[in-house]
Amino acid sequence: MSGPGVLLMAYGAPERLDQVAAYYTDIRRGSPPPPALLEELLGRYRAIGGGSPLSAIVERQRAALAAELARRGRPAPVYCGMKHIAPYVADVIRRMAADGVDHVVAIALAPQHSTFNEQTYGRAVEEAAAAAPTGPRATVVRSWHDQPRLIEAMAAATREALARCDDPATAHVFFTAHSLPERGAGGTDPYAHEVAATGALVAEELGVERCDVAFQSAGRTADRWIGPDLVAEIRRVAAAGAREVVVCPVGFVADHLEVLYDVDVEARGVARSLGMRLERARAMNDDPVFVAALADVAQSALAQEVSA
């Protein structure tokens, strides 16, 4: 039986320490990492409990989205695929085709669009769909950075974090996203603008004015990466007298290393060394309002399929 299906796509992350070397090698396009870099990454995973919860969270998001679409009377099979660890996006698309899916609606679990995602997620979907024996059509959702329920869910999480501060009115809020190399995300690339737009919409929903956009998790390469960097920004506002900061990672929709280590361990440690308190807005994970946002995005794309 043929019909459309939804594919949620994530970067992927190792669930166990014994998967880290292969994962890191995949990120490096088959080149094993130098021992020092591998040990550094292993240390970060040890610091968050020995592995990432990302795969399990994406599976919960997948199941919740399928249930929400069914509840709305628009049932569709929902799959999940990863970029750098099994189940790989291309393998999942082949499975979707074998299951009778004739139109793949693919949503990257990264709300802001970038050329980088276009060249990785988008290309992987289109090439795998074209290569599948039944050749399902593929629609890749390019951006959903301003989806109203996404903004609502992120604002609610940030409001909770602000409420944990001693003085919410003077806390400085940072809206963060993963940094990317300037050569790929500068100039006309929409990424930085969309990150700023998401942050501005959440700030408007909250009614906060003490806020800025910052980037985090820049790679260890010789390239220049887009900024400003979160840690540098924390130091800047500390020098200006701020004593509490709230971080809302608007570019991330699940707990994984970039949130659990880069914010919760590294950035919080810097803040503590400066006599500051750092609170982090909880990740979206399978928050019901966030799942409703995903369903809105999927349903819109599925509706376009019906009218095509």
Which domain CATH number covers 40?
Answer: 3.40.50.1400
Same domain, 252 and 267: yes
Percent of the chain clearing pLDDT 70 (strictly above): 97
In whole angstroms, what is the distance from residue 245 CA to residue 81 CA?
A: 34
Say yes or no: 196 and 134 in one domain.
no
Number of domains in the chain: 2
3-state secondary structure of 307: helix
How many angstroms separate the first and last alpha carbons of the chain?
A: 20
Tell which residue, 247, 242, 244, 243, has the closest CA to residue 229. 247
Would you tell me how many other CB atoms lie within 10 Å of the CB of residue 235?
16
Band (225; pLDDT cuts 50, 70, 90): very high
- How big is the CA angle at 250 (ends 197 and 219), to the nearest 5 degrees? 105
Cα–Cα dist 58/152, whole Å: 20
Pairwise CA distance, residues 90 & 96, whole Å: 10
* Closest C-alpha to 116, from 177, 183, 54: 183
* Closest-CA residue to 116 (of 55, 45, 195): 195
What is the predicted pLDDT for the residue at 278?
Answer: 98
Looking at the structure, do residues 154 and 114 belong to the same domain, yes or no? Answer: no
Are residues 155 and 254 located together in one domain of the fold?
A: yes
Q: How far is CA 103 from the centre of its chain?
A: 24
- The vertex-289 CA angle with 286 and 292, nearest 5°, equals 90
| Average confidence (pLDDT) over 46-60 | 98
274 plus 231 within the same structural domain? yes
Q: How does residue 305 score in pLDDT terms, banded at 50, 70 and 90? A: low
Report the C-alpha gap between 301 and 304 in whole angstroms.
5
293 and 274 in one domain? no
Range of the domain at 274: 148-280
Query: In the prediction, which pLDDT does 222 show?
Result: 80
| SS3 at position 257 | helix
Q: Tokens 């592995």 — which residue? A: 51
Q: Are residues 133 and 161 in the same domain?
A: no
List beta partners, residue 7: 79, 106
Q: Same domain, yes or no, for 18 and 38?
A: yes
Count of CB atoms within 10 A of residue 32's CB? Answer: 12
Amino acid at 163: A
Together in a domain, 18 and 105: yes
Say what the pTM is: 0.95
- 139 and 18 fall within a common domain: yes
Confidence at residue 184, expressed as pLDDT on a 0 to 100 scale? 63
Q: Which of 53, 54, 75, 56 is nearest to 66 (CA)?
A: 75
**Closest listed residue to residue 15, CA positions, set 75, 94, 87:** 87
In the prediction, which pLDDT does 17 show?
98
Beta-sheet strands, E only, within 99-196:
101-108, 137-141, 172-178
Query: Are residues 67 and 127 part of one domain?
Result: yes
Model confidence at 107, in pLDDT bands (50, 70, 90)? very high
Tell me: pLDDT of 240 over 80: yes
One domain for residues 260 and 187: yes
- pLDDT in the model for residue 187: 67
Mean pLDDT of 48-64: 98
Q: Which pLDDT score is estimated for 18?
A: 98
